[in-house]
Protein backbone atom coordinates (compact mmCIF):
# COMPACT_ATOMS: atom_id res chain seq x y z
CA UNK A 1 0.00 0.00 0.00
CA UNK A 2 2.81 2.42 0.82
CA UNK A 3 4.13 2.21 -2.76
CA UNK A 4 0.71 3.28 -4.10
CA UNK A 5 0.66 6.55 -2.17
CA UNK A 6 1.71 9.68 -4.08
CA UNK A 7 4.76 11.51 -2.83
CA UNK A 8 4.57 15.27 -2.49
CA UNK A 9 7.41 17.64 -1.88
CA UNK A 10 6.51 20.12 0.82
CA UNK A 11 8.24 23.45 1.24
CA UNK A 12 7.52 25.56 4.29
CA UNK A 13 7.54 29.35 4.06
CA UNK A 14 6.45 32.06 6.43
CA UNK A 15 4.30 34.83 4.94
CA UNK A 16 1.55 37.32 5.73
CA UNK A 17 -1.72 35.49 5.10
CA UNK A 18 -3.35 38.72 3.89
CA UNK A 19 -0.66 39.23 1.22
CA UNK A 20 0.70 35.88 0.06
CA UNK A 21 3.88 36.04 -2.07
CA UNK A 22 2.73 33.35 -4.51
CA UNK A 23 1.45 33.55 -8.07
CA UNK A 24 -2.24 33.02 -8.79
CA UNK A 25 -3.25 29.35 -9.11
CA UNK A 26 0.04 28.05 -7.66
CA UNK A 27 -1.17 25.17 -5.49
CA UNK A 28 -3.28 22.00 -5.81
CA UNK A 29 -3.81 21.94 -2.03
CA UNK A 30 -3.81 24.68 0.59
CA UNK A 31 -4.18 24.03 4.33
CA UNK A 32 -4.81 26.63 7.03
CA UNK A 33 -4.99 24.98 10.44
CA UNK A 34 -6.22 27.20 13.28
CA UNK A 35 -4.76 30.39 11.81
CA UNK A 36 -7.70 32.34 10.38
CA UNK A 37 -9.26 32.65 13.85
CA UNK A 38 -6.46 35.09 14.71
CA UNK A 39 -6.61 37.22 11.54
CA UNK A 40 -8.69 40.42 11.93
CA UNK A 41 -8.83 40.85 8.12
CA UNK A 42 -10.52 37.49 7.53
CA UNK A 43 -11.97 38.27 4.11
CA UNK A 44 -8.60 39.44 2.78
CA UNK A 45 -6.92 36.25 4.05
CA UNK A 46 -9.64 34.01 2.56
CA UNK A 47 -9.35 35.81 -0.78
CA UNK A 48 -5.59 35.20 -0.77
CA UNK A 49 -6.05 31.50 -0.04
CA UNK A 50 -8.57 31.23 -2.90
CA UNK A 51 -6.30 33.21 -5.24
CA UNK A 52 -3.31 30.87 -4.88
CA UNK A 53 -5.40 27.72 -5.33
CA UNK A 54 -5.44 26.10 -8.78
CA UNK A 55 -8.79 25.38 -10.48
CA UNK A 56 -9.98 22.05 -9.09
CA UNK A 57 -7.69 22.51 -6.09
CA UNK A 58 -8.68 21.80 -2.50
CA UNK A 59 -8.61 24.23 0.43
CA UNK A 60 -8.72 22.69 3.92
CA UNK A 61 -9.55 24.96 6.86
CA UNK A 62 -9.59 24.04 10.53
CA UNK A 63 -11.41 26.65 12.60
CA UNK A 64 -13.53 26.99 15.73
CA UNK A 65 -17.31 26.85 15.30
CA UNK A 66 -19.29 29.61 17.01
CA UNK A 67 -22.38 27.38 17.29
CA UNK A 68 -20.59 24.60 19.17
CA UNK A 69 -21.94 23.40 22.50
CA UNK A 70 -18.56 24.32 23.97
CA UNK A 71 -19.19 27.97 23.11
CA UNK A 72 -22.84 28.11 24.14
CA UNK A 73 -22.41 26.21 27.42
CA UNK A 74 -18.82 26.10 28.74
CA UNK A 75 -17.79 29.59 27.62
CA UNK A 76 -21.00 31.17 28.92
CA UNK A 77 -20.53 29.39 32.24
CA UNK A 78 -16.96 30.71 32.50
CA UNK A 79 -18.26 34.23 31.81
CA UNK A 80 -20.89 33.90 34.57
CA UNK A 81 -18.32 32.59 37.07
CA UNK A 82 -15.87 35.39 36.23
CA UNK A 83 -18.60 37.97 36.65
CA UNK A 84 -19.66 36.48 40.02
CA UNK A 85 -16.03 36.57 41.19
CA UNK A 86 -15.60 40.15 40.01
CA UNK A 87 -13.01 39.19 37.40
CA UNK A 88 -12.95 40.98 34.05
CA UNK A 89 -14.03 39.15 30.93
CA UNK A 90 -12.44 39.66 27.54
CA UNK A 91 -14.03 42.10 25.12
CA UNK A 92 -16.42 40.06 22.97
CA UNK A 93 -18.01 41.24 19.74
CA UNK A 94 -20.57 39.41 17.61
CA UNK A 95 -19.89 40.09 13.92
CA UNK A 96 -20.97 38.58 10.61
CA UNK A 97 -17.73 36.53 10.76
CA UNK A 98 -18.50 35.06 14.18
CA UNK A 99 -17.76 35.77 17.83
CA UNK A 100 -14.54 37.75 18.16
CA UNK A 101 -12.72 38.08 21.48
CA UNK A 102 -9.87 40.48 22.19
CA UNK A 103 -7.38 39.04 24.69
CA UNK A 104 -4.73 41.30 26.14
CA UNK A 105 -1.25 39.98 26.86
CA UNK A 106 2.20 41.41 27.52
CA UNK A 107 2.85 41.21 23.76
CA UNK A 108 -0.31 43.09 22.78
CA UNK A 109 -3.83 42.14 21.80
CA UNK A 110 -4.62 38.68 20.44
CA UNK A 111 -7.86 38.26 18.52
CA UNK A 112 -9.57 34.86 18.74
CA UNK A 113 -12.62 34.15 16.59
CA UNK A 114 -15.21 31.43 16.83
CA UNK A 115 -16.23 31.37 13.18
CA UNK A 116 -19.73 31.46 11.75
CA UNK A 117 -19.45 28.48 9.39
CA UNK A 118 -22.30 29.82 7.24
CA UNK A 119 -20.36 33.06 6.71
CA UNK A 120 -17.22 31.09 5.85
CA UNK A 121 -19.03 28.99 3.25
CA UNK A 122 -20.87 31.98 1.73
CA UNK A 123 -17.74 34.13 1.51
CA UNK A 124 -15.66 31.41 -0.11
CA UNK A 125 -18.50 30.75 -2.56
CA UNK A 126 -18.34 34.45 -3.53
CA UNK A 127 -14.66 34.03 -4.47
CA UNK A 128 -15.20 30.86 -6.50
CA UNK A 129 -14.94 27.98 -4.02
CA UNK A 130 -17.60 25.50 -3.02
CA UNK A 131 -17.77 23.52 0.19
CA UNK A 132 -17.38 19.81 -0.49
CA UNK A 133 -17.21 18.48 3.08
CA UNK A 134 -17.26 19.48 6.73
CA UNK A 135 -16.17 17.24 9.58
CA UNK A 136 -15.79 17.55 13.32
CA UNK A 137 -12.42 18.15 14.86
CA UNK A 138 -12.23 18.30 18.65
CA UNK A 139 -15.55 18.53 20.43
CA UNK A 140 -14.46 20.78 23.32
CA UNK A 141 -11.59 22.71 24.85
CA UNK A 142 -12.82 21.93 28.36
CA UNK A 143 -9.46 20.26 29.11
CA UNK A 144 -8.04 23.80 29.39
CA UNK A 145 -10.13 24.30 32.56
CA UNK A 146 -9.49 20.92 34.20
CA UNK A 147 -7.35 20.86 37.35
CA UNK A 148 -6.36 17.18 37.16
CA UNK A 149 -4.48 15.29 34.45
CA UNK A 150 -6.95 12.42 34.71
CA UNK A 151 -9.84 14.76 33.83
CA UNK A 152 -7.84 16.24 30.96
CA UNK A 153 -7.17 12.72 29.63
CA UNK A 154 -10.87 11.88 29.86
CA UNK A 155 -11.73 14.92 27.72
CA UNK A 156 -8.93 14.10 25.25
CA UNK A 157 -10.40 10.59 24.94
CA UNK A 158 -13.88 11.96 24.33
CA UNK A 159 -12.54 14.39 21.69
CA UNK A 160 -10.76 11.50 19.99
CA UNK A 161 -13.90 9.33 20.07
CA UNK A 162 -16.00 12.17 18.63
CA UNK A 163 -13.52 12.74 15.80
CA UNK A 164 -12.97 9.03 14.99
CA UNK A 165 -16.69 8.40 14.71
CA UNK A 166 -17.31 11.38 12.42
CA UNK A 167 -19.96 12.85 14.65
CA UNK A 168 -21.77 16.11 13.89
CA UNK A 169 -19.52 19.09 13.16
CA UNK A 170 -22.45 21.36 14.06
CA UNK A 171 -21.99 20.56 17.77
CA UNK A 172 -18.19 20.40 17.77
CA UNK A 173 -15.91 23.32 18.54
CA UNK A 174 -13.25 22.27 16.04
CA UNK A 175 -14.44 22.07 12.45
CA UNK A 176 -12.49 20.93 9.42
CA UNK A 177 -14.02 22.34 6.25
CA UNK A 178 -13.03 21.35 2.71
CA UNK A 179 -13.55 23.59 -0.30
CA UNK A 180 -12.87 23.08 -4.00
CA UNK A 181 -12.10 25.76 -6.57
The pLDDT value recorded for residue 177 is 98
Given CA atoms 116, 117, 123, 126 in this order, what sign does their dihedral have?
A: negative
Assess whether pLDDT exceeds 80 at residue 112: yes
Assess whether pLDDT exceeds 60 at residue 2: no
The pLDDT value recorded for residue 6 is 77
The pLDDT value recorded for residue 19 is 97
For 112, phi and psi rounded to 5 degrees? -130, 125
Report the share of the chain in percent with pLDDT over 70: 98
| Average pLDDT over all residues of the chain | 92
The pLDDT value recorded for residue 36 is 97
Assess whether pLDDT exceeds 80 at residue 5: no
Assess whether pLDDT exceeds 70 at residue 62: yes
Angle CA 138–144–147, to nearest 5: 130
The pLDDT value recorded for residue 14 is 86
Report the share of the chain in percent with pLDDT over 90: 71
The pLDDT value recorded for residue 3 is 66
The pLDDT value recorded for residue 77 is 87
The full 3-state SS of the chain, as one line of letters, equals CHHHCCCCCCCCCCCCCCCCCCCCCCEEEEEEECCHHHCCCHHHHHHHHHHHEEEEEEEEEEEEECCCHHHHHHHHHHHHHHHHCCCCCCEEEEECCEEEEEEEECCEEEEEEEECHHHHHHHHHHCCCEEEEEEECCCCCHHHHCCCHHHHHHHHHHHHHHHHCCCCCCCCCEEEEEEEC
The pLDDT value recorded for residue 18 is 97
pLDDT (mean) for 3-32 = 88
Amino acid sequence: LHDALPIYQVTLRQADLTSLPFDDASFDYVVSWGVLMHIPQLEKALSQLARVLKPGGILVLSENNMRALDVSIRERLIHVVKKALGRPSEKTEHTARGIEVQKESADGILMVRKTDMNFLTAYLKSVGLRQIARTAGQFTEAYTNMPAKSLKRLIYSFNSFYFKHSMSPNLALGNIVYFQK
